[in-house]
């Protein structure tokens, strides 16, 4: 893959794919292949594996590489596969980036180091070290609610100057800060591509120049997520708004109702007979009441 900035370097509608496990908790590569194929067939033009929704903190380095290879082989060369490689350790992150490149990834998703809360100069050095380590383009992952550290706008703008730092998965919940970066690193400048990492922001961020989304909800309704961006691209902004608002109850149920998106996505996929399997501890599966509630919201949404 050419390491250059572009409007949508990894596609437009990306799914933050769950990592399917067997009933005993082992990596389910066959399930991963089937799920990846379905997601692409139903509307995703890129996949993010080994991310937060993919339970990266509880999968081994070997499992991560195996998953990348399986998904790569399944979707073919035309569908971007971005691999989460971020850890709290720069050295380990570099190792995972090199392994992802070897396994066939098209890019790497690099989250801010968590727990240690490095200051901005150390954070910048971390991302630059990872970007220099492999030939893969980098999507920065800004999610301070989980990491404890914001990638500040000025830091983001400096990082955008690196030729392999091409994109951002934005879960900052700082829309003003995001717009400040877009205004200075958009397609007319260095071309830093923003992807909405929170499903409730898909249309809002797209409307001010983002490249697309990395969606958790797309695990269960990939076509509905893609349709929001399709409508906007077709000039039907009112229709895009209706589709985004119609998805709000499902977005809330899956990402903002008290359970992690991994848990809710796997509960729905399991109920739909699709590959998912259990979550790994310390996560716990959705209880019966929560699972039934999720399914009720899903059925109401898809019936509309």
Catalytic residue numbers, as ranges:
141, 169
Torsion of CA 149, 191, 228, 213, to 10 degrees: -30
Q: Give dist(CA 94, CA 135) in Å, integer.
A: 12
How many secondary structure helices (H) and strands (E) does the chain include?
A: 13, 8
Residue (of 33, 93, 80, 39) closest to 226 by Cα position: 39
Extract the tokens encoding 113: 């180091």
**Going by DSSP bridges, is the β-strand pair 212-215/13-16 parallel, antiparallel, or unpaired?**
parallel
- C-alpha distances (whole Å) from 195 to each of 13, 130, 139 are 9, 20, 9
């Amino acid at each position: 893959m050419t390491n250059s900035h572009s409007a949508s370097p990894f596609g437009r509608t990306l799914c933050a794919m769950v990592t399917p496990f067997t009933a005993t908790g082992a990596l389910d590569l066959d399930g991963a292949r089937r799920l990846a194929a379905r997601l692409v067939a139903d509307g995703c033009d890129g996949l993010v594996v080994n991310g937060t929704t993919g339970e990266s903190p509880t999968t081994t380095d070997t499992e991560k590489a195996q998953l990348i290879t399986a998904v790569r082989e399944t979707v073919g060369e035309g569908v971007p596969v971005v691999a989460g490689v971020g850890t709290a350790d720069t050295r380990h992150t570099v190792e995972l980036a090199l392994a992802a490149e070897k396994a066939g990834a098209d890019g790497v998703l690099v989250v801010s180091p968590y727990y240690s809360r490095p200051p901005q100069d150390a954070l910048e050095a971390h991302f630059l070290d990872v970007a220099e380590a492999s030939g893969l383009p980098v999507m920065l992952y800004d999610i301070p609610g989980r990491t404890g550290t914001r990638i500040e706008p000025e830091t983001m703008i400096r990082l955008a100057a690196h030729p392999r730092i091409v994109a951002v998965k934005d879960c900052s919940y700082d829309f003003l800060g995001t717009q400040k970066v877009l205004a200075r690193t958009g397609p007319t400048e260095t071309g830093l591509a923003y992807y909405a990492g929170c499903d409730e922001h898909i249309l809002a961020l797209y409307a001010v120049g983002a490249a697309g989304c990395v969606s958790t909800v797309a695990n269960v309704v990939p076509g509905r997520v893609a349709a929001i961006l399709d409508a906007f691209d077709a000039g039907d902004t009112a229709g895009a708004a209706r589709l985004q608002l119609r998805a709000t109850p499902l977005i809330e149920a899956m990402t903002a109702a008290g359970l992690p998106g991994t848990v809710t996505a796997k509960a729905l996929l399991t109920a739909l007979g699709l590959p998912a399997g259990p979550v790994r501890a310390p996560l716990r599966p959705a209880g019966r009441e929560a699972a039934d509630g999720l399914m009720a919201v899903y059925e109401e949404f898809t019936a509309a």
